[in-house]
Amino acid sequence: MEAPRSMIESLSHAVLILALAGAVPARAETYRHTEGGVSIWIPDHWNADLEDDSVSGFSEDGDAAVELVSLRGAADQDAAGRLCQARLARAVREFEETEARRETSINGLRGFRFAGQGVYRGGTRSLQVIVLKSPRQFLMFLWSADRATARRWDTIRDRIAGSIQTIT
């Protein structure tokens, strides 16, 4: 005996809804970087840390991390670039630039970005650096991911970076 068409359609819809539910992005938390005058989205299953001058997030497995840090004292973009390079030199060993500096804009915040790799947080990591001018100061967005798994994090990295916006 065949099942009634409406029952098959209902089951098909239920299966589709369940399949789509698995594709829905994880919930997240928006953190306010009050010193920098911006907010940033961090997935809620990540470990997050909020300090006076920074917001950090780390994936559960430790393969990916993001930091949004104030570049205190930077009067212009050149000074912000020097402070950024100094911070990288202290934190990342054997840094090698793999993508040249270029201008960027995220939600109206202008700045520059570049990429590289180096030894950071205990392993060889791919790094993405974005320096932005917020209404209050320059900020450094530092993304790092284990070099072996970096590609799998591209979508999350782009969502986090794209979430940076001015707060009032």
pLDDT at site 115: 96
Q: Total domain count for the chain?
A: 1
Residue 146 lies in a domain: yes
Q: With cut-offs at 50, 70 and 90, classify the pLDDT of residue 25.
A: very low
Integer CA distances (angstroms), 75 to 41, 54, 79, in order: 27, 19, 6
pLDDT at site 21: 35
CATH number at residue 81: 3.40.1000.10
* pLDDT mean over 9-29: 41
Q: With cut-offs at 50, 70 and 90, classify the pLDDT of residue 107.
A: very high
pLDDT at 13 over 60: no
Residue 134's SS3 state is coil
Helix (H) or strand (E) holding 124: strand 123-133
Rounded CA separation 131/114 (Å): 9
pLDDT at 24 over 60: no
Residue 44 lies in a domain: yes
Integer CA distances (angstroms), 128 to 63, 118, 150, in order: 14, 11, 11
Residue 50 lies in a domain: yes
Rounded CA separation 126/117 (Å): 5
Rounded CA separation 168/72 (Å): 20
Name the residue range of residue 51's domain. 27-166
pLDDT at 27 over 80: no
Residue 84 lies in a domain: yes
Q: What is the mean pLDDT of the chain?
A: 85
pLDDT at site 28: 60
pTM of the model: 0.81
Residue 45 lies in a domain: yes
pLDDT at 23 over 70: no
Residue 11 lies in a domain: no
pLDDT at 73 over 80: yes
pLDDT at 26 over 60: no
pLDDT in tens, 117-145: 999 878 899 999 999 999 999 999 999 99
pLDDT at 9 over 90: no
Residue 8 lies in a domain: no
Residue 15 lies in a domain: no
Nearest CA among 140, 142, 139 for reference residue 157: 142
* pLDDT mean over 28-53: 90
* pLDDT mean over 139-161: 94
